[in-house]
Structure 1
Amino acid sequence: MKKLLKVLKRILIALLLLIIVLLAVTYLYVKQPQFGALPEGARLEFVKRSPNYRDGKFRNLIEKPIITKGYSVLGELKKTVFEEFPHREPVDSLPSIKTNLKVIPADQNVMVWFGHSSFFLQLDGVRILVDPVFSGKASPLPWGVKSYKGSDIYTAEDMPEIDYMLLSHDHYDHLDYETVKALQPKVKYVICGLGAGAHYERWGYSSKQILEKDWGDEVKVKTGFSIFAETTHHSSGRGFKSEQSLWLSFFIKSPALNIYYSGDGGYSERFKKMVEKYPAIDWAVMECGQYNKAWQSVHELPEEVAQATTELKAKNMLPVHHSKFTLAQHPWDEPLKRISALSQAKPYRLATPMIGELIRLDDPSQVFQQWWKHVK
């Protein structure tokens, strides 16, 4: 009996030491720069004054559980680990076009999508870069989510000088440390949600470059040109403490065209309210991918994307948040197939460019191919 107790004691000590080592390794690992930083000091005090920050974190306008009723976190985790979901990533390399962004004439109003939610805008000579991720991954871990073949042909070096870089929220598939670090010398200003400036400051951006905004705030670019930080229904966080920076959508009002970017977020009545505030939307860039009925409150289903775009009364819609990373259980091309079918006979025009294809924003005659049909 004494021998057994000794053996059990040794096992318990070994397990305790292993737990201590794992905790120490984890603690040291999350201190690496790619995890960013939490707001503190004067920034934290400023964050606390936001009406959208309560009880130690940012909140959605209407509180909803992340997991849909009838589903569970454990159940979804079990499915991910033990069930097979076919065609979650393409076998073939995705078709793409390498557009030279540095030589586009300043008087052209264009957009170039880089896969997932990264895109470049040039409006009235102003260059805007949104949620850039060019590192080929959407995870802080070496073995984490990797980009599809052919979807990562652009780098920070390919970007021209950027007037405004916009961040919808700080999740890894939207805020990429390597990309943002490399872009710092090219970026005049970053517009991000309250609290998110802590990441950029840690990564070498000056306080003059960082414009942290609350919902409803306006950045005046020049006469007749403004960028508004607006609401969405989502979350944020890069480490163990979440909801410490605010998640955004954007309305870009220029003399030539008005662009709305939804950011990530589940469907809500905000789209009806948005069109009351911004009644003339030429282009809606809408999240459409990495969805699941289990987490429908934070990511729209394609049916909801079509509904929201109709409610926005947008003339044109570009679906994003697909065709680069696998972050859900659906087939990689399902978002494109479903939104194409759902958009037939809708009052908006659907744009489905290849990665890197130049979208002529003021050319309603431009035709886009259903390029995914030829990809295995």
Structure 2
Amino acid sequence: MRHPIALLFVGFGMLLFAAGYAINNHLASSGVGDMTSSAHFKDGKFSNDEPVAENSVWKILSIMKRSIMDEKIDPIPKTAIPVKSVTSSQLENLPDEGVFTVKLGHSSILLKVNGELWLLDPVFSERASPFSFTGPKRFHAPPISLSDLPHIDRVLISHNHYDHLDKPTMKALAKKAGAYFVPLGVKSDLVKWGIDPESIHEFDWWQEKTLPAGMVAFTPSRHFSGRALTDGNTSLWGSWVLKTAYESLFFSGDSGYFSGFKQIGERFGPFDLTMIEAGAYDKDWPEIHMTPEQSVQAHLDLQGRTMIPIHNGTFNLAFHPWYEPLERVLNAADANEVVLSTPMFGEVTGPDYPANVKRWWRDVMSSTAGSDQK
């Protein structure tokens, strides 16, 4: 049975995410960060290297109509998503050499990098939404709570959408994080949320920074930005490269498929591990979110060795079944002889841990398949 009100909330969330992309309202720079010197910034807005078609009001209304009228198959799990709890002592006891990865949910990743703890796109809130009472709701709790997190050395943000930049999470991290690496234009929000301006470092595409734990570079993606109806593309979006003496990693953020993956692979590859978006794709927005098959091709373009699919299993942000991205990316990986690691949320992967080949979602699928919209 469909619940029209619930679907309307989903449609409203999609409208909010798309509106900043669609409305031609050029805002002046906030003056925080040197956006005007960026080659990708013109007339108050950032743009992609490979242009994407602007949404019309009619296109947005069409998506709204689909969200209300279309029957959705298995949009949420019917039984609990498996989650392994992570403790502060467990993180502290991981070796201080090498890179260890913990998938927290959606695109939120916790890394231990040569003894430092890093968070990528951390979202700990119950909803990926500007509102606490409506919007896409988590399928599962984070493996570790914000209050239990130890000191975080660095927080990296790919772009400012609500499922990647979460205000309550960032306000809580202001008390326990050392440095913030963000795209151009994002600093002003963090400052408003109480984060020390001196701890925030803004990046343009291809900008690199050398650190004691290694090197990071902010690299392009094919996407957009915006948190309201009037701020579309007034901040940058992108992906992250991390290189240490032990390992090389790539984190995609959100992106449609584009030639930039091959450019990043040629410049910074090969990568030991890629964490690539595989989820929230749809025929109505093919240029800004990849299909799972394109995600595997992006991994190949990047010259990746092992791939962890992210941006799935936590929020309902599109029209496909919740498990479909994982099934499709697995089939594409097998067809292309790609090593696919699919750790459970909270499971540690790293140098001493082989790629996890347990397909945890299938146990949940067996209870979910054929369920009605909740």
TM-score exceeds 0.5:
yes
1:50 aligns with 2:65: no
Deviation at 1:39, TM superposition (A): 7.7
Aligned equivalents of 2:28 and 2:241: distance in 1? 25
User: Unmatched 5+ residue regions in structure 2?
Assistant: 1-26, 369-374
User: Unmatched 5+ residue regions in structure 1?
Assistant: 1-37
For residue 239 of structure 1, give the secondary structure of its aligned residue in structure 2: coil
Amino acid at match of 2:345: I
Whose radius of gyration is greater, 1 or 2?
Answer: 1
Equivalent in 233, 238, 245 of residue 222 of structure 2: 233
Is residue 184–residue 205 contact of structure 1 (8 Å, CA) maintained in 2? yes
Equivalent in 260, 266, 275 of residue 270 of structure 1: 260
For residue 175 of structure 2, give the secondary structure of its aligned residue in structure 1: helix
Aligned equivalents of 2:215 and 2:132: distance in 1? 39
Is residue 29–residue 35 contact of structure 2 (8 Å, CA) maintained in 1? no
Aligned equivalents of 1:374 and 1:82: distance in 2? 30
Is residue 118–residue 154 contact of structure 2 (8 Å, CA) maintained in 1? yes
Deviation at 1:158, TM superposition (A): 2.5
Tell me which residue corresponds to 2:61: 74
1:169 aligns with 2:169: no
Structure 1 residues 39 and 169, CA gap change in structure 2 (3 angstroms): farther
Tell me which residue corresponds to 2:112: 122
Aligned equivalents of 1:128 and 1:121: distance in 2? 5
Aligned equivalents of 1:210 and 1:86: distance in 2? 42
363-372 or 277-286, which moves further after superposition?
A: 363-372
Structure 1 residues 163 and 212, CA gap change in structure 2 (3 angstroms): same
Equivalent in 140, 155, 164 of residue 145 of structure 2: 155
Amino acid at match of 1:89: I
Identity across aligned pairs (percent)? Answer: 32
Tell me which residue corresponds to 1:85: 72
Is residue 181–residue 203 contact of structure 1 (8 Å, CA) maintained in 2? yes
Tell me which residue corresponds to 1:25: none
Is residue 151–residue 323 contact of structure 1 (8 Å, CA) maintained in 2? no
Tell me which residue corresponds to 2:87: 100
Tell me which residue corresponds to 2:128: 138
Is residue 151–residue 355 contact of structure 1 (8 Å, CA) maintained in 2? no
Please give the TM-score of this superposition, normalised by the length of structure 2. 0.85
Matches within 5 A, 1:18-29: none
Is residue 39–residue 196 contact of structure 1 (8 Å, CA) maintained in 2? no
Deviation at 1:108, TM superposition (A): 5.2
Q: How many residues matched?
A: 334
Deviation at 1:226, TM superposition (A): 0.7
Equivalent in 207, 224, 235 of residue 197 of structure 2: 207
Tell me which residue corresponds to 2:24: none
Tell me which residue corresponds to 2:177: 187
1:372 aligns with 2:374: no
RMSD: 1.9
Aligned equivalents of 2:322 and 2:144: distance in 1? 20
Aligned equivalents of 2:37 and 2:356: distance in 1? 47
Is residue 67–residue 296 contact of structure 1 (8 Å, CA) maintained in 2? no
Higher relative contact order (CA 8 A, sep 6+): 2
Amino acid at match of 1:322: N
Deviation at 1:347, TM superposition (A): 4.1
